[in-house]
Amino acid sequence: MPRIAAADREDLVETRKSQIVDATLRLLASQSFDRTSVDAIAKEAGVSKGSVYLYFESKDAIIDELVRRYSLIRDVEKMVDSVNDISPEDALGTVVPVLWQQLVARRELIKLLLREGPARPDVSKVLFEKIVIPGNTMVADWLARHIGPERAKEIDTFVAGRLIFGMLMAFIITQELLGGKDARPIEDEKITSTITEVFLYGIMGRNGKKKKKAC
Amino acid sequence: MPRIAAADREDLVETRKSQIVDATLRLLASQSFDRTSVDAIAKEAGVSKGSVYLYFESKDAIIDELVRRYSLIRDVEKMVDSVNDISPEDALGTVVPVLWQQLVARRELIKLLLREGPARPDVSKVLFEKIVIPGNTMVADWLARHIGPERAKEIDTFVAGRLIFGMLMAFIITQELLGGKDARPIEDEKITSTITEVFLYGIMGRNGKKKKKAC
Amino acid sequence: MPRIAAADREDLVETRKSQIVDATLRLLASQSFDRTSVDAIAKEAGVSKGSVYLYFESKDAIIDELVRRYSLIRDVEKMVDSVNDISPEDALGTVVPVLWQQLVARRELIKLLLREGPARPDVSKVLFEKIVIPGNTMVADWLARHIGPERAKEIDTFVAGRLIFGMLMAFIITQELLGGKDARPIEDEKITSTITEVFLYGIMGRNGKKKKKAC
Amino acid sequence: MPRIAAADREDLVETRKSQIVDATLRLLASQSFDRTSVDAIAKEAGVSKGSVYLYFESKDAIIDELVRRYSLIRDVEKMVDSVNDISPEDALGTVVPVLWQQLVARRELIKLLLREGPARPDVSKVLFEKIVIPGNTMVADWLARHIGPERAKEIDTFVAGRLIFGMLMAFIITQELLGGKDARPIEDEKITSTITEVFLYGIMGRNGKKKKKAC
DNA sequence: GATGAATGAGCGTTCATTCAT
DNA sequence: CATGAATGAACGCTCATTCAT
């Protein structure tokens, strides 16, 4: 006979898990997971070390949960949905800056994923299958619907779809994670407009923006 | 009165440091630096554990030296030199595949830099100032010389220069480091040709490949 | 004014204590007491962990109670009573096999007593004074009544009485507790008949089984 | 190039292992192995906790080594050798008291083996195969050579051989390990002479000592 | 009376670092 | 210069015990 109703119990579990995962994310901003002790996580979360093991099977389970919780996939999905019927010419101008802002806001998570992902097969798998592939596929489908059959013969939309993220990541890594923002700042507008320009002409090929300009 | 001539002494120090740094790099292919013990490094390097501390102040000093030694900068420099006077249209077809091959070959070093870099201010600084900036600048200068004044008004060549690496990195990270190569393989040729196409049209804008096509 | 009648209350305490002690004994069949957690005991007993501490001061108090409750003494008493007036020649043939079966059935308790007893002065005391001495005395008295004055001068019946248990224990320990049953099996019948034979001739001396053989 | 000669190295390993094993044996006199911490062992041995792991793979490896080192088997072997051609009538009078003394001297080891053995399959196996079986077999062979064909049909010498140890163990356990020595002392001489008498008549059957007495 | 979430001391184990040789 | 035995702090994890509900 549990003293606490099932719903309250679930709430408690959820609260505690969040406390611990969030504390971990905070600590991971300044040091690797390996160098972050369970003691430190517990202290940061405001619970005892023993409690951490009440809610997670092991230290590693914390990072698994963390990755599960903080993925960009839902944002990407929403964004692609919202521009579904809008051509890249019209959509990229808003999509790229928004995407940039979201990636910047999650820079710490990205730092974490870049650090921990490649070294952990389980994390890698989740990252690749649950984030990269679905996100990439959505963008590829959208591109395929808009670039026209001629251009579609020349470029692979699945590959092209991944490029937009690569371009954005290049600046997240160099400006936000490697300290470029301080050492050699670049205005956000310049980053996003250049990416928009390059990607737009890049995917449209020789027909790029032709509609808007008679040749 | 030193028993050994200064030059010889320096040679020894250099030899030992290289032994240790190279051994470390080899071991980092399969596990994170944190999980690589000094014991293992010493064994792999063929020296005693004590000797490691004769040539490095601490375990961390090894990774600092490693990052200092291994950069892509010299390769980028050579490559830019070799295509200095060749237009992007003619150069990218060879440059992109070569760059791709070199990045793939160094995937372990990239994994290491992504893991250790963002968490270490000193490493970040070196990476950014000695690799990102010089490489980016060389490519930007080259681009500036070829895209023409009209296009130059529309895109920032410094930003555009970094994009080519971002595009390549997107696939190094997803295909090589996150296991995409096994889960969802893509032919190297498809990756490099798509990047070439997108980047070329992207930077050239509406004049892309105009020489080849009368308008 | 107690809400529950004193008798009922005692019943409850007794029931709960039994639940917990019995559960512990069951668990001790497969692992040492040290490696049996209070969690596991509570679960096996069907009560909460907190309840264990309602009825026992500490984990160790459970084992003390267990040892106090389970002894062979009542069985030995009954057995000696039943053969009180029967001579060893006639009695041993049935007593030894029955005793053997009872010891085999309690092998786990014996394992427990051997493990926990010698290291705990309180348990030792209980074991020795409440089990060894009374059981030994009963057997010694029975022997004294039957071996005749001549033989009584040669052997100490108190010592001899303890030997029958030693003989049986030798096989409980080696065959049942050390895995000899699997590695080098011996039929139960061979064990009990040999013990009967040796002990019988042993205690009777040169007059052993004289009834059956005119001299 | 090791600084220490191989022989010296071996000596050191042997010394350290002995230090640790002996310290462990000392501590096991008063508490179970589970409750004996590596910290305590290291302290008792006069080495650091880290050093324990320099010489033993794990805590469990210490007890394995301990059991390997302290077995009675060599003593039993020697004893059986020395009485090889002597009949039980003449031999038991000296063998039993000597065996008793040796078992008493090793009471702490026996306590340890009774406690740790049954709970550890690996220890059990070693105990049974390396101590019980060889010792038992030697004694059985010796008995078989002396009891004559007639008696050999009635008792199993392998079973009988184990009985002599059972009889001795009964008193080791009750007098030495359970505190009977203090609560209800019995003279050593009484123990050994009774065992000798009972075992001798027991194994010889109706022909026991007949040589000495015409019937 | 009954519960089980919470605690934190203590465990076995690892390993960066030191230093006598 | 080179070694590796020795160290002990720190780790991830367990679990006996407490106590608010």
Q: What is the pLDDT of residues B80-139, one digit of tens each?
A: 788 878 888 888 888 889 888 888 888 878 887 887 777 777 677 777 877 788 888 888
DSSP symbol at A155: S
What is the number of alpha carbons within 13 Å of residue B171 lying toward its C-beta?
A: 31
Q: Is the CB of C119 less than 8 angstroms away from the CB of D32?
A: yes
Across the interface, whether the CB atoms of D201 and C197 are under 8 A apart is answered no
Exposed / middle / buried, residue D134 (Cβ in 10 Å: 0-12, 13-18, 19+): middle
Other C-beta atoms lying within 10 Å of the C-beta of residue B144: 15
Of B197, B202, B209, the C-alpha closest to B156 is B202
CB contact under 8 A, D167 and C165: no
The amino acid present at D19, given as its one-letter code, is: Q
Strand, coil or helix: what is A118? coil
Question: Taking CB atoms and an 8 Å cutoff, what residues of chain D touch C202?
Answer: 197-202
Q: Tens digits of per-residue pLDDT, A24-52?
A: 988 887 777 888 999 999 999 999 999 99
Touching A (3+ Cβ pairs <8 A), the chains are B
Q: How far apart are CA D159 and CA D152, in angstroms?
A: 12
Which of A4-13, D107-116, D178-187 is most confident?
Answer: D178-187
Residue with tokens 């001539």: B5
> CA-CA distances (angstroms) from residue A187 to A190, B158, C43, C94, D48?
5, 12, 62, 100, 58
| Digit-coded pLDDT (tens) for C104-139 | 888 878 888 887 777 777 677 777 877 788 888 888
Question: Cα Rg for chain B, rounded, in angstroms?
Answer: 21
pLDDT > 80? residue D123: no
Tell me whether residues C159 and D191 touch, CB distance under 8 A. Answer: yes
Strand F proximal residues, D:10-69, Cβ < 7 Å:
12, 16, 47-51, 53-54
Tokens of A127: 């990252």
Q: What is the dihedral of CA D114, D117, D118, D120, to 10 degrees?
A: 160
Question: At residue D1, does pLDDT exceed 50?
Answer: no
If you ran DSSP here, which 8-state letter would residue C83 be given? T
Per the prediction, chain A carries an average pLDDT of: 83
Q: Which chains border B (3 or more CB–CB pairs < 8 Å)?
A: A
Please give the pLDDT value at position B21. Answer: 93
Chain F bases near protein Cβ (<7 Å): 1-21
State the DSSP string of D2-70.
Answer: -SS-HHHHHHHHHHHHHHHHHHHHHHHTTS-STTS-HHHHHHHHTS-HHHHHHH-SSHHHHHHHHHHHS
The mean pLDDT value of chain C amounts to 84
Give the residue with greater pLDDT, C63 vs B38. Answer: B38
Neighbour count for residue A184 (Cβ, 10 Å): 16
When pLDDT is averaged across residues A118-143 and rounded to a whole number, the result is 80
Chains A and B make contact, 3+ CB pairs within 8 Å: yes
* Residues 46-85 of chain D in contact with strand E via CB under 7 angstroms: 49-50, 52-53, 58-60
Pairwise pLDDT comparison (C60 vs B7), residue with the higher score: C60
Chain C contacts of D208, Cβ < 8 Å?
201, 205-206, 208
* Whole-number Å distance between alpha carbons of C18 and C190: 38
pLDDT given for residue B87 in this prediction: 80
Q: Do residues C58 and C37 lie in contact, with contact meaning Cβ atoms separated by under 8 Å?
A: no
Q: Is the CB of B54 under 7 A from strand F?
A: yes
Q: Is residue B15's beta carbon less than 7 angstroms from any atom in nucleic acid strand F? A: no
Domains and CATH numbers, chain C: 6-68 (1.10.357.10), 71-208 (1.10.357.10)
CA dihedral C154, D190, D95, D198 (to 10 degrees): 40
Query: Tokens standing for B193?
Result: 């040709």
CA dist list (Å): D82 to B43, D74, D100? 53, 12, 16
Q: Which of C4, C120, C106 is nearest to C62 (CA)?
A: C120
| Set of chain A residues whose Cβ sits within 8 Å of the Cβ of B117 | 177-178
CA distances from A35 to A28, B32, B35, B151, C95 (A): 9, 11, 10, 48, 67
Q: Considering only residues 10-49 of protein chain C, which place a Cβ less than 7 A from any atom of strand F?
A: 35-39, 49
* Mean pLDDT (chain B, rounded): 82
Q: Mention every residue, 6+ apart, whose C-beta is less than 8 A from residue D213.
A: C206
Question: Among residues D164, D188, D190, which one has the least CA distance to residue D176?
Answer: D188
Distance, CA of C209 to CA of C193 (rounded, Å):
15
Task: Give the model's confidence band at D212: pLDDT under 50 very low, under 70 low, under 90 confident, else very high.
Answer: very low
Confidence at residue A59, expressed as pLDDT on a 0 to 100 scale: 95
Give pLDDT, residue B7: 66
Residues 6+ apart with CB under 8 A from D78: none
Q: What is the pLDDT of residues C142-197, one digit of tens each?
A: 888 888 888 888 889 999 999 998 999 999 989 998 888 988 999 999 999 999 98
Rounded mean pLDDT, C42-59: 95
pLDDT at B210 over 70: no
Chains that touch C (3 or more CB pairs under 8 A): D
- Asked whether A128 and B180 are in contact (CB, 8 A), the reply is yes
Spatial contact of C103 and C164, defined as CB atoms under 8 Å apart: no
Q: What's residue B151's pLDDT?
A: 79
Is the pLDDT at A23 greater than 90? The verdict is: yes
Minimal CA separation from D136 to chain C, in Å: 11
Is strand F less than 7 A from the beta carbon of B17? no
- Residue with the two structure tokens 């160099």: A174
How far is the C-alpha of B204 from the C-alpha of B155, rounded, in Å? 10
Amino acid identity, position B124: S
Who's near A149: CB < 8 A, 6+ residues apart?
none
Q: Which sign does the torsion angle of CA C133, C136, C139, C143 carry? A: negative
Cβ distance D48 to D62 under 8 Å?
Answer: no
Question: Does residue C123 contact residue C64 with C-beta atoms inside 8 Å?
Answer: yes
Give the pLDDT band (50/70/90) at residue B53. Answer: very high
- Of residues A77 and A162, more confidence is placed in A162
Cα–Cα dist A124/B174, whole Å: 9
∠ CA D53-D55-D61, nearest 5°, is 80
User: What is the per-residue pLDDT for B212?
Assistant: 43
Position D192, amino acid: T
Which pLDDT belongs to residue D15? 93
Q: Kindly give the interhelix angle for A157-171 and A188-204, rounded to the nearest 10 degrees.
A: 160
DSSP result, D112-132: HHHHHTTT-HHHHHHIIIIII
pLDDT for residue B209 is more than 60? no
Q: Which residues contact A52 (CB under 8 A, 6 or more apart)?
A: A20, A38, A41, A42, A45, A59, A62
What's the pLDDT tens digit per position in D63-117?
888 877 876 677 777 888 888 888 888 888 988 998 899 888 888 888 888 887 7
Q: Scan for tokens 């406690």, then name that residue.
A: D115
> Which residues 17-36 of D interface with strand E at a CB distance below 7 A?
36
Confidence of residue A214 (pLDDT cuts 50, 70, 90): very low
For chain D, give the mean pLDDT: 84
What distance lies between CA C161 and its chain's CA centroid?
15
pLDDT band at D207 (very low <50, low <70, confident <90, very high): low
CA of A116 to nearest chain B CA: how many angstroms apart?
7
> Hey, of C31, C60, C114, C186, which one would you mutate to test binding to chain D, going by the most D CBs within 10 A of its CB?
C114
pLDDT at C57 over 90: yes
Q: How far, in Å, is the CA of D34 from the C1' of nucleotide F20?
A: 34
Contacts of A200 in chain B (CB under 8 A): 202
CB contact under 8 Å between D133 and C184, yes or no, is: yes
Nearest to A162 by CA among B166, D75, D64, C200: B166
Whose structure tokens read 């008793």?
D100
User: pLDDT at residue B201 above 70?
Assistant: yes
Distance CA D142, CA D200 (A): 13
Using C1' positions and the CA of A35, the closest nucleotide is F11
**CB pair distance less than 8 Å for C174 and D180:** no
State the nearest residue by CA to the C1' of F19.
C50
pLDDT at position D211 over 50: no
pLDDT, residue D70, reads: 76
Burial class (CB in 10 A: 0-12, 13-18, 19+), A185: exposed
Contact residues, chain C, for D162 at CB < 8 Å? 170-171, 174
Interface contact flag, B206 A202, Cβ < 8 Å: no
pLDDT at C207: 59
Beta carbons within 10 angstroms of residue C31's beta carbon: 12
Give me the residue label for tokens 């679960």: C43
Q: What is the pLDDT of residue D47?
A: 96
Structure tokens at C99: 């005793």
